[in-house]
């Protein structure tokens, strides 16, 4: 392995961070632009972005190296956050904010008559995630850096991130997201830490020199995992932690073998196959379930990351694994990296020579698992047959884990074979499958849900048998979002106003935001809050005009639902309300009217037909509503294409009303709800996921609650009669009629038939019509409340002031106190660790 000469004095390389006044930034920027990139000041803005990114990156490097050393000292307990997704978005503005260089950078750019915001908007989003789960991982990394916890993120460096969504004739069209095409200044390739990953082959049992039998995995096809490190900056604390992303690359020996056999082109093909592993992020799509390449990605991440951790361990401790379990914890972000359970067993036994019991003692004390879904159909399963040929050694290990586990179940519940069948990691049936969630639970010391209701429902529903066996393993960790990106960076106007009133501490100590509550009754403050909101609404309106060519008037109520398109999230219910408002306008029922601009955004999984139909419906309804002269600005509807992190940075500060309208008991937590709340939006929502905790925090008077509760949903299914609901509710009858008669599909007959049928079906799992009346009534209360400006402003301020609980700093502190048990490693000026000279 790559090792620095121990004689060499590492301090020689410790150059100081470059000066950070605007002169220094301006001159570095100019140098990068001209000497390094060979461009000039008036070049394409992309190069200006690149030069500025390199300039800022220079101001990260020393602290990054220093942080790594602090976390790498002997005896430091560390956590590794394993996730197939990190939805980072843009980085430049975030680093500038965290380093405290906003003013200096702005000044430096102004010297060249350049606009900082324009330059920052050149950066392409790092879209390495589908939605909530991936963005949560990115917010977690931010909070870990802020809290100075020794945590390393491990993920995959996909060549293509989440697809780019275009809208053609109202339909979603997917385009590849080649985000690395122009290079990525935020990554550092570390080929010296590459690892070998094996696939296929077969398992042989050999007897070693001490007469012990051992398994060897032979005849494998191998792939290299090359790490790329991405810096994660803490907020003004000289702490830069690491997100290590793996990229697949062909091994040279693999190529050579083929080459010697005389087939050059096949050798190159093999190289291609290897590199395919990290080519594309899989969309969260049932029709993609069971794809071989996705399983390869999952194993690739698990194996590369574990090997990396074991290498660092041996660098510090040698081959003594006695204290490994007290110094290391692996966190599994959903079941996606769960193969880590079996892979750690394999590495410890087959590569490090440990016996089963010792390896299991370590593994089961080092793994922790977070579940993110309550939908049984979304639980990951893989065919045993796929494992047999792709990961034969792991399958053996999983069988053994299961056999030992089922013996334990049988001891606890003798004779209860039903229960053994239910709890088995292997699902028997026509196709035998591996239940990844069960493997994760059996292999972990902690299992958590992501909101109070969700965790409760896991224990008494989905994972009930396991809860009965190991109640102490189960716990809740309510999600959060980082206030740095989602308030300080995304909403500078509001941030300045908050800071003026309560000081600056709230950014890193978000509980302090509560002090803002005192100003809700101050009319002068309310007016300023209003002015900030209006400016943010204008920014959002400009964006809507740019992407949708729909004009939003900032005096109207901005009503927003942005999230992945899914039936359980019920964008359809939102559309029923829009159609109802349209119907009211058409029949002249507009007394006490509140003008509304409704914005919807989100991606549908490419194979999810219903979700794609919903997008088409939104666009068709928008076409009718926006072009009807009788509507005349009373109502607007727009679908914003390609919703993602950087769009949300403009959307959430400009929103008045946040739509969180999932069928109760289906949304594990939701996190957009928190971003909206922090930015002073009021929520209309069901009693679901984190909405419940949001309402607890802000109070019923500042939240528009509607709909069935989770327990009622279960009962309702038995008696659900949508036909009767339609018959008995005139508003609903009229809405359904407009839909059925083709009012929104004039030259496209029957395209919405499937959607209409699903709404009318007694078997509708999402009970959309059951909540129609209560939703419409709640929306009416919203409209009235919005007409009383000071009342609305009070609610808005209360929402921000009560959002203290929803910072990921709080979430991560709970993970740390309850699960990881790490010690913060603040930078200490005196003893900035110069002792460890090994680069590990
Ligand atoms: C699985 C197998 C094959 C291909 C893709 C997938 C896959 C990928 C992503 C399955 C699920 C996801 C993402 C799930 C997700 O984002 N869940 C959301 O997690 C949030 C953070 O905890 C919660 O707030 C949301 O409620 C939950 O829906």
CATH of the domain at 633: 3.40.50.2000
Whether 537 and 465 share a structural domain: no
Tens digits of residue pLDDT in 71-100: 999 899 999 999 999 999 999 999 999 999
- Is position 352 annotated as part of the catalytic site? no
For 266-273, what is the mean pLDDT? 77
276 shares a domain with 366? yes
Going by CA atoms, what residue is nearest to atom 1 of ligand 1? Answer: 284
Residue 732 lies in a domain: no
Is the pLDDT reported for residue 382 higher than 90?
yes
**In a mutational test of the pocket of ligand 1, which residue from 668, 675, 690, 806 has the highest number of ligand atoms less than 8 Å from its CB?**
668
Q: Report if residue 553 sits inside a domain.
A: yes
* 563 Cα: distance to centroid of ligand 1 (angstroms): 12
Cα distance between residue 759 and residue 757, in whole Å: 5
User: From residue 769, how far is each of 635, 666, 689, 765 by CA, in Å?
Assistant: 23, 16, 20, 11
Query: How far is residue 513's CA from residue 803's CA, in Å, rounded to a whole number?
Result: 7
671 is catalytic: yes
Domain range for 190 is 72-89+125-478+818-834
pLDDT at 266: 75
Q: Does 199 share its domain with 118? A: no
Strands (E), 200-325: 202-207, 213-218, 221-233, 240-250
Query: Is 616 assigned a catalytic role?
Result: no
Question: Per the domain annotation, does 1 fall within a domain?
Answer: no
Token digits for 541? 């309106």
Q: How sure is the predictor about 14, in pLDDT bands with cuts at 50, 70 and 90?
A: low
Check whether residue 333 and residue 370 sit in a common domain: yes
Q: Are 36 and 43 in contact (CB under 8 A)?
A: no
Q: What is the pTM of this model?
A: 0.97
Q: Which atom of ligand 1 is nearest the CA belonging to 129?
A: 9
Please provide the average confidence, as pLDDT, over all residues in the chain. Answer: 95
612 annotated active-site: no
User: Structure tokens of 807?
Assistant: 């910072």
Select from 481, 213, 530 the least CA-distant residue to 356.
Answer: 213
CB 680 near ligand 1, within 6 Å: no
Sheet containing strand 657-660, edge to edge, reads 635-640, 596-601, 557-562, 657-660, 682-685, 704-705
Closest residue by Cα to residue 782 from 691, 708, 703: 703
CB of 688 shorter than 6 A to ligand 1: no
**Contact criterion met (CB below 8 Å) for 656 and 211:** no
Q: Are 460 and 373 in contact (CB under 8 A)?
A: no
User: Taking residues 804-809, what's their average pLDDT?
Assistant: 98
The pair of structure tokens assigned to 787 is 């007409």
Cβ neighbours of 719 (radius 10 Å): 9
Q: Is 783 within the bounds of a domain?
A: yes
Q: What is the pLDDT of residues 575-588, one digit of tens each?
A: 999 999 999 999 99
Biggest CA–CA distance in the chain, Å, is 91
Phi first, then psi, for residue 175 (nearest 5°) are -125, 145
Give the Cα separation of 578 and 192 in Å (integer): 57
Note the pLDDT of residue 210.
86
Q: Do residues 641 and 627 both lie within one domain?
A: yes
Rounded to the nearest angstrom, the distance between the alpha carbon of 235 and the centre of ligand 1 is 28
Q: What pLDDT was estimated at residue 224?
A: 97
How sure is the predictor about 571, in pLDDT bands with cuts at 50, 70 and 90? very high
Mutual orientation of helices 436-443 and 356-366 as an angle, nearest 10°? 100
Average pLDDT on 690-703 reads 98
Q: Tell me: do 382 and 420 sit in the same domain.
A: yes
**Residue 152 and residue 26 in one domain:** no
In a shared domain, residues 442 and 511: no
Tell whether 511 and 637 lie within a shared domain: yes
> Are the CB atoms for 202 and 394 separated by under 8 Å?
no
pLDDT digits (tens, 9 = 90+) for 299-344: 999 999 999 999 999 999 999 999 999 999 999 999 999 999 999 9
Q: How many domains does the chain have?
A: 3
Residue 840 confidence (pLDDT) above 60 = no
Find where tokens 């939006």 sit. Answer: 681
- The reply to whether 794 falls in a domain is yes
Say yes or no: CB of residue 602 within 6 Å of ligand 1: no
Do 410 and 431 reside in the same domain of the chain?
yes
Same domain, 531 and 680: yes
Average pLDDT over residues 455-479: 98
Same domain, 29 and 83: no
pLDDT score at 6: 39
Q: Per the domain annotation, does 531 fall within a domain?
A: yes
Which is the closest atom of ligand 1 to the Cα of 85? 9
The separation between CA 563 and the C-alpha centre of its own chain, rounded to angstroms, equals 12
Q: State both tokens at 828.
A: 């200490």
Q: What is the pLDDT of residues 724-771, one digit of tens each?
A: 999 999 999 999 999 999 999 999 989 999 999 999 999 999 999 999
Nearest CA to ligand 1 atom 11: 284
Establish if 340 belongs to a structural domain: yes
Which position among 95, 526, 564, 616 bears the catalytic label?
Answer: 564
421 within domain boundaries: yes
């Amino acid at each position: 392995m790559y090792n620095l000469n121990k004689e060499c004095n590492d301090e020689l390389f410790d150059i100081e961070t470059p000066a950070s006044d605007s002169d220094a930034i301006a001159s570095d920027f100019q140098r990068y632009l001209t000497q390094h990139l060979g461009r000039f000041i008036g070049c394409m803005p992309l190069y200006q972005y690149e030069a500025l990114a390199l300039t800022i990156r220079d101001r990260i490097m020393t602290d990054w190296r220093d942080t790594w050393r602090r976390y790498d000292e002997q005896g430091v307990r560390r956590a590794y956050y394993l996730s197939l997704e990190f939805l980072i978005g843009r980085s430049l503005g975030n680093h500038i904010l965290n380093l405290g260089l906003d003013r200096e950078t702005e000044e430096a750019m102004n010297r060249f008559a350049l606009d900082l915001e324009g330059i920052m908007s050149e950066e392409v989003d790092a879209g390495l995630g589908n939605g909530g789960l991936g963005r949560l991982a990115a917010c977690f990394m931010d909070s870990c850096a802020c809290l100075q916890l020794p945590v390393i993120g491990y993920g995959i460096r996909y060549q293509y991130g989440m697809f780019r969504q275009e809208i053609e004739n109202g339909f979603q069209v997917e385009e590849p997201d080649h985000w690395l095409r122009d290079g990525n200044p935020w990554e550092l390739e570390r080929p010296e830490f590459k690892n070998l990953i094996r696939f296929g082959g077969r398992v042989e049992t050999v007897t070693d020199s001490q007469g012990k039998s051992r398994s060897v995995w032979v005849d494998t096809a191998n792939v290299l995992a090359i790490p790329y490190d991405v810096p994660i900056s803490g907020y003004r604390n000289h702490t830069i932690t690491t997100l290590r992303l793996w990229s697949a690359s062909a091994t040279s020996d693999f190529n050579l073998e083929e080459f010697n056999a005389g087939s050059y082109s096949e050798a190159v093909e093999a190289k291609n196959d290897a590199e395919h592993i990290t080519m594309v992020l899989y969309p969260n799509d049932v029709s993609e379930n069971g794809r071989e390449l996705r399983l390869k990605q999952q194993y690739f991440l698990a194996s590369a990351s574990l090997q990396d951790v074991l290498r660092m361990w041996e660098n510090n401790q040698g081959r003594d694994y006695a204290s490994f379990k007290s110094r290391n914890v692996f966190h599994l972000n959903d079941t996606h990296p769960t193969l880590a359970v079996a892979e750690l067993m394999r590495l410890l036994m087959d590569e490090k020579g440990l016996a089963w019991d010792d390896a299991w003692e370590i593994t089961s004390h080092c793994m922790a698992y977070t579940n993110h879904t309550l939908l049984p159909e979304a639980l990951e399963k893989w065919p045993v047959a796929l494992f047999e040929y792709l990961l034969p050694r792991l399958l053996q290990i999983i069988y053994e884990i299961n056999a030992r586990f089922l013996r334990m179940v049988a001891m606890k519940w003798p004779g209860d074979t039903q229960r053994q069948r239910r709890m088995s990691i292997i699902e028997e049936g026509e196709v035998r499958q591996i239940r990844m969630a069960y493997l994760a639970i059996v292999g972990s010391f902690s299992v958590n849900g992501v909101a109070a209701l969700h965790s409760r429902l896991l224990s008494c529903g989905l994972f009930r048998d396991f809860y009965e066996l190991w109640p102490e393993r189960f716990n809740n960790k309510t999600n959060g979002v980082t206030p740095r990106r989602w308030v300080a960076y995304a909403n500078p106007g509001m941030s300045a106003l908050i800071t003026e009133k309560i000081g600056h501490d709230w950014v890193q100590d978000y509980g302090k935001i509560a002090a803002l509550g005192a100003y809700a009754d101050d009319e002068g403050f309310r007016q300023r809050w209003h002015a900030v909101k209006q400016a943010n609404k204008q920014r959002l309106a400009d964006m809507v005009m740019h992407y949708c060519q729909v004009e939003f008037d900032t005096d109207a109520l901005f009503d927003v639902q942005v999230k992945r398109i899914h039936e359980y999230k019920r964008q359809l219910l939102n559309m029923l309300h829009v159609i109802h408002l349209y119907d009211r306008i058409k029949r002249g029922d507009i007394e006490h009217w509140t003008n509304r601009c409704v914005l919807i955004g989100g991606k549908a999984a490419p194979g999810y037909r219903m979700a794609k139909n919903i997008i088409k419906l939104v666009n068709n309804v928008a076409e009718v509503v926006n072009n009807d002269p009788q509507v005349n600005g009373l109502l607007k509807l727009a679908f914003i294409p390609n919703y993602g992190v950087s769009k949300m940075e403009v959307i959430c500060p400009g929103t008045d009303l946040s739509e969180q309208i999932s069928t109760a008991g289906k949304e594990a937590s939701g996190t957009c709800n928190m971003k909206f709340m922090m930015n002073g939006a009021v929520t209309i929502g069901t009693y679901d996921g984190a909405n419940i905790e949001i309402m607890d925090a802000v109070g019923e008077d500042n939240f528009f609650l509607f709909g069935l509760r989770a327990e009622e949903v279960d009962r309702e299914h038995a008696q659900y009669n949508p036909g009767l609901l339609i018959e008995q509710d005139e508003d609903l009858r009229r809405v359904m009629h407009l839909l059925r008669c083709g009012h929104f599909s004039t030259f496209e007959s029957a395209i919405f038939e499937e959607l209409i049928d699903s709404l009318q079906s007694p078997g509708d799992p999402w009970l959309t019509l059951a909540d129609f009346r209560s939703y419409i009534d709640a929306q009416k209360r919203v409209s009235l409340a919005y007409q009383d400006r000071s009342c609305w402003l009070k609610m808005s301020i209360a929402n921000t002031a009560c959002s203290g609980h929803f910072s990921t700093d709080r979430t991560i502190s709970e993970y740390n106190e309850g699960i990881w048990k790490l010690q913060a490693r603040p930078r200490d000026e005196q003893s900035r660790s110069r002792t460890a000279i090994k680069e590990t």
